A = this chain, B = another copy of it.
Amino acid sequence: MAEVQRIEIGKRMSNAVIHGGIVRLAGIVGEPGGDVGQQTKDCLAEIDRLLALAGSDKTRILRAQIWLADINRDFGAMNAVWDAWVPQGHTPARATGEAKLATPEYLVEIIIDAVQT
């Protein structure tokens, strides 16, 4: 039976699940209250933290899905933060679409698949 490792296991979800060298993170959000730029920074810092716990880092991301609560308003501001964070030469397959999130205070959520180093 192939091993599944779960990190920060909650009652509803785990923050990271590792199997076969692939790390799947939960949908990560920033702190409610900030604008989309600040929430994207928070979110990417949390992704860095979880990838480190899972034995990976941002140079090893395979796929990113980005959900914005208001894509027309916030696509540019999210991208400015993303572009400064994503490591050149190691950019993932990415898709971005609009989806309202768990509460209206959340403006951005990012879902990451990465490979362990």
Contacts and interface: CB of A to CB of B under 8 A. Distances in A.
Contacts of A86: 11-13
Contact of A14 (B79, B82, B92, B95): B92
Contact of A89 (B9, B26, B82, B88): B9
Contact of A12 (B62, B82, B111): B82
A4 B115 contact: yes
Interface of A: 1-2, 4, 6, 9-17, 19-22, 24-27, 60, 62-65, 67, 71-72, 75, 79, 82-83, 86, 88-102, 104, 109, 111, 113, 115-117
A26 B93 contact: yes
23 contacts: A11-B83, A11-B86, A12-B79, A13-B64, A13-B86, A13-B91, A14-B93, A15-B93, A17-B62, A17-B92, A17-B93, A19-B62, A20-B21, A20-B115, A26-B93, A27-B96, A71-B101, A71-B102, A95-B109, A97-B101, A98-B100, A98-B101, A99-B99
